[in-house]
Amino acid sequence: MLNTLVRYFNLIVITLFILLLISFSLAYFFPGDPYTNLTGKMLLADTDGPLAAAFREGNVLQQFWYYVQNLTMGNWGHSFSSALPLYDQIFQTLPATLELTFYASTLSLVIGIPCGMLAGFLHHKKTDYTFMSMSMVMVSFPVFWLALLLILIFSLQLNLLPMSGRLSLLYDIPETSGFVLIDIINSSHPDRDAALYDAIQHLILPTIAVSFITTAVFLRTTRRAIVDVMATEYIKTAQTRGLPFYVIFSRHVLRNAMLSILPLLAIQISTLVTNVMIVETVFSWPGVGHWLIQAIYERDYPAIRIGMLLVSSIVVFFAMSLECISRLIDPSRDNKKYA
């Protein structure tokens, strides 16, 4: 167990170091002055700081070292477009992205895994064929087209749900945690119930759009895992012994099927984050994805650099953590050593 934790810790550290190298190199690849691309400020003769001195001397190793030091101290530079500190902008938009990602992933797990189990137990029957056909159609939907379709139907045609934003301007809810539902519940606003209902309405369409493809993938993978486990000899032996179905399901089928599902969660994190960024842009959701896309449009190079570093680091951390958990649960998968 300790060896597995050490290996994955080393792998995370090495991967993050490579990401730091790439983000630092982007300052030289972008048009303009590398110091300006890193900090969002002009390198003048009277500019103070060790990073500015390293750029004057032309020592790349010192530049990278002081760049990493600035990142650890929260000095991430300034935006070209707004001239605001990137550290503040990131942590103003990150909670909205995490909130949408959490609700979308929860919806995918709650719907995809039970439906996949049902399809697996009833494989080669009408229920199985129905779920598999539905999942095939769901996977085929481009997420940006699905988001626009949801807006067209439920916002413009039926006028049931809002088409953009996170909360109506009627409700002035102070931000404490950054998660809109938690902030509303903890607030003392006189129209708290109405604000909560409004926030849930704003969440419905983006959550469905993000979770649509992931739900289908979970369904298909869970169904395949259940079918494979049900075909094993120990399940057939348990059935011939007359064990109740719930005992076979809880002690043998579910436990072994989850070993195939857990690695999928790590793989799907990058897909989920990509879909969140696209959906945030379509629904004007004030998250990191929407902020990063706007930075790309405006050629805000410091924001692009730090946004790519942050998103990549989050994906790597969660993916490696889930992969490590799956190997701790199933040591038989740990046949090869990494890092």
Tens of pLDDT along 150-168?
A: 999 999 999 999 998 899 8
pLDDT in tens, 21-42: 999 998 888 888 788 878 877 7
Say what the pLDDT of residue 204 is.
96
**Torsion (CA) 79, 83, 87, 93 in degrees, nearest 10:** -80
Q: What is the pLDDT of residue 97?
A: 93
For the chain, percent of residues with pLDDT exceeding 70: 94
Comparing 263 with 92, the larger pLDDT belongs to 92
Could you tell me the CA-to-CA distances from 184 to 90, 114, 173, 181 in Å, in that order?
Answer: 22, 31, 6, 5
Enter the pTM of the model.
0.85
For 86-297, which CATH superfamily applies? MetI-like (1.10.3720.10)
Q: What is the mean pLDDT of residues 203-214?
A: 94
pLDDT at 323 over 60: yes
Token pair belonging to 118: 């049902």
Residue-averaged pLDDT of the chain: 86
Q: Which has more pLDDT, 81 or 44?
A: 81
Whether residue 339 has pLDDT greater than 50: no
Other C-beta atoms lying within 10 Å of the C-beta of residue 137: 10
Q: What is the pLDDT of residues 274-288, one digit of tens each?
A: 899 999 999 999 999
284: left (phi over 0), alpha (psi -120 to 50) or beta: left
Give the per-residue pLDDT at 281. 92
Say if CB 276 and CB 101 are below 8 A apart: yes
**Span 52-92, pLDDT tens digits:** 777 777 778 888 888 888 888 888 888 888 888 999 999 89
